[in-house]
Amino acid sequence: MLILNHYGKNMVNSLTQAIQFGLRDKMVNGNKFEIVVPLFSRLMAQGGGENINGILGTTHWNWSLQDEGSQAFVKSFGQEYGFPPSQAAHTC
């Protein structure tokens, strides 16, 4: 298992290199080798392009959550910027 425990462009670069080195398709002791990104954002996923397919990971917040606080934030952000907020916008 390879854990890419960094964020932003650093993660995108590392993931790209891991895929180029063939780690996504690697087998170790009869088990599929896994690449894990403990926390990634939509922007990081977009930056990773096709490389993010099949990569295990988590996210800490998503604009589609239905709780009252999230919906108020999404509405306010959308009115100001014309698109839903990213995780980075939520963190800020």
Name the pLDDT band for 18 (thresholds 50, 70, 90).
Answer: very high
The strand pairing partners of 2, in sequence order, are 35
Q: Which of 27-31, 60-64, 67-71 is least confident?
A: 60-64
Domain count, the chain: 2
Let me know whether 72 and 55 are in one domain: no
Alpha-carbon distance of 26 to 78, in angstroms, equals 42
Let me know whether 46 and 78 are in one domain: no
Six-digit token string for 2: 């390879």
Query: Which 8-state DSSP code applies to residue 71?
Result: H
Bridging pattern class, strands 27-28 and 2-3: unpaired
The number of residues making up the chain comes to 92
What pLDDT, in 10s, does the model give residues 35-62?
A: 999 888 878 889 999 999 999 988 777 7
Q: Is the pLDDT of residue 29 over 80?
A: yes
Let me know whether 54 and 83 are in one domain: no
- Do 35 and 4 form a contact (C-beta atoms < 8 A)? yes
Alpha-carbon distance of 59 to 45, in angstroms, equals 11
Let me know whether 26 and 44 are in one domain: yes
Alpha-carbon distance of 83 to 51, in angstroms, equals 25
Q: What percent of the chain has pLDDT over 70?
A: 100
Name the average pLDDT for the chain.
90
